Amino acid sequence: MSLDAVSSLGHAFGLIVDCPLSGAPDVKCREHADTGCLLLTSAVDGAQTAAALEACLSATLPRGPGAVTRAGDRIAIWLSPRSWLFVCDPAEEAALAVRVAARFPDRLAHASAFTDFLCWFSLEGRRAEDMLRQGSFISLARGGLSIGHAKRTPINGVPSIVFHEAAETWRIAVERSRAAHFRNWLDSLTLD
């Protein structure tokens, strides 16, 4: 028996699939089944392990709340003083986790394969932020969540990681088990 990998919404794994929104046709929604990631955690203050983790990943890790760093297609999102979400190609996930395990046999830092845990969506368009605001409180800051920053926040009751990637582009990660619910909620929204 052979099983084919599928995305959270049942599409072929490894693809970016358009998910049109009936109530907001000017906002483009996509499921990113081509996105892999690792959850990086440190048993001690992250400042003590960050440099060695960066050497394993060939990328810089952000050092403060909301901060995001990029290295090509790789994205590192600060989650806490001792944890980061490292977005990468799904094909790299296993090898990167092995590198981290080899560098930290004492388990002071750990990389958990996280690709199957999260479903990634993007919302693009002038009114994408308006959609997100209908189910969440994006930020206390005057301008909202700044471009190039991320935060963990519930959206319509679903724990999410929201990354403001560009002026009109948002990436949202939700638990795989809640992806269909999240997508249906987005589709139910109407922007007037």
Per-residue pLDDT tens for 12-25?
A: 778 889 999 998 88
List the chain residues with pLDDT less than 50: 140
- The whole-number pLDDT of residue 28 equals 96
Q: How far is the C-alpha of 34 from the C-alpha of 91, rounded, in Å? A: 10
- The whole-number pLDDT of residue 139 equals 57
Asked whether the CA dihedral 70, 183, 161, 117 is positive or negative, the reply is negative
- The whole-number pLDDT of residue 8 equals 79
Q: How many CB atoms lie within 10 A of CB 40?
A: 28
- The whole-number pLDDT of residue 140 equals 46
- The whole-number pLDDT of residue 4 equals 73
H helices of 104-178, in order, are 128-133
- The whole-number pLDDT of residue 42 equals 96
Within the chain, all domains assigned CATH 3.30.70.1520 are found at 36-113
- The whole-number pLDDT of residue 104 equals 96
- The whole-number pLDDT of residue 142 equals 59
- The whole-number pLDDT of residue 182 equals 94
Q: Which amino acid is at 176?
A: R
Of 170, 143, 177, 171, nearest to 37 by C-alpha is 171
Indicate the CATH number for domain 36-113.
Answer: 3.30.70.1520
- The whole-number pLDDT of residue 6 equals 78
Place of tokens 């605001």: 133
The pTM of this model reads 0.89
Q: Are 160 and 152 in contact (CB under 8 A)?
A: yes
3-state percent breakdown (helix, strand, coil) of the chain, nearest 5: 25, 35, 40
Fold of 16-34+117-187: Gyrase A; domain 2 (3.30.1360)
Q: Are 71 and 59 in contact (CB under 8 A)?
A: yes
Of 154, 139, 150, 147, nearest to 67 by C-alpha is 150
β-bridge partners, 124: 28, 169
